[in-house]
Amino acid sequence: MSVPGAGHEIKSVVIAPVDGVPRPGVLLYTDIFQLTESTLRTARRLAASGFVVLVPEIYPRGELAGKALEFDDAGKAAGLSGAASMPTAAFDEDRVSALDYLAARPDVTDLFVTGFCIGGHLAFRGAFDSRVSATVCFYATGLQDGKLGADVADSLSRASDIQGRLLMIFGSADPHVPADARLQILSALYAAGHEHAELHVYAGGEHAFMRDIGARHDPELTDLALREAVSFFTGRS
């Protein structure tokens, strides 16, 4: 399916329980590889926990539109190139389109956002929307230095724009978000008044430990992270 964007279509996948009961909607941002089966397996696990999950591609413009990339050097290079071609304003524009779509669905009650890697950064920016009541960012990259797309993103400096609840999960062995970067993120959140924001660091977790392809995958930490995300989204009920 496609979500209508501003002058373009955003290829997306919606996964939801089949009972049609109204439930929270989750906007799930992928990593740089877009709509891979690995990410969609995670989306299915979230949906099975009682959510309507929308997974849009993050590069709906240009040559990567509609493409899922391989987890190899060529795929990584293409994904990074796609990010470098997207100004922050374009990411934000697509976010509004995705949240508008979810909000208009009759089977969606609340709006949540989550994402992985660059998608974790996009999820953080998703929390700027006042309609979003809770956000979970998995190993979000680029928050500490503004690296997101074609320009320098102002994400961390806009932490005060977040009105909903926020959970951030990192691995301690993630070279993209080392200890000093995590400290910078937490300090900025506290300075913005988010003293109740949660930041969890999993000992030994590598970057992309939730991607179920490759040597960095940690099944136990993946299960833990998903349980914590579901618990957080549901208010730990």
The set of catalytic residues is 117, 174, 207
> Is there a contact between 204 and 211 (Cβ–Cβ < 8 Å)?
no
Give the residue from 145, 139, 144 showing the smallest Cα distance to 207.
139
Q: What residues have CB less than 8 Å from 52, skipping those under 6 apart?
A: 14, 15, 16, 17, 23, 24, 25, 26, 102, 105, 107, 108
> Is there a contact between 168 and 198 (Cβ–Cβ < 8 Å)?
yes
Question: What's phi and psi for 121, nearest 5 deg?
Answer: -65, -45
In terms of phi and psi (left: phi > 0; alpha: psi -120 to 50; beta: otherwise), the region of 180 is: alpha
> In whole angstroms, what is the distance from residue 236 CA to residue 42 CA?
20
Q: Which residues pair with 167 in a beta bridge?
A: 136, 198
Q: What residues have CB less than 8 Å from 227, skipping those under 6 apart?
A: none
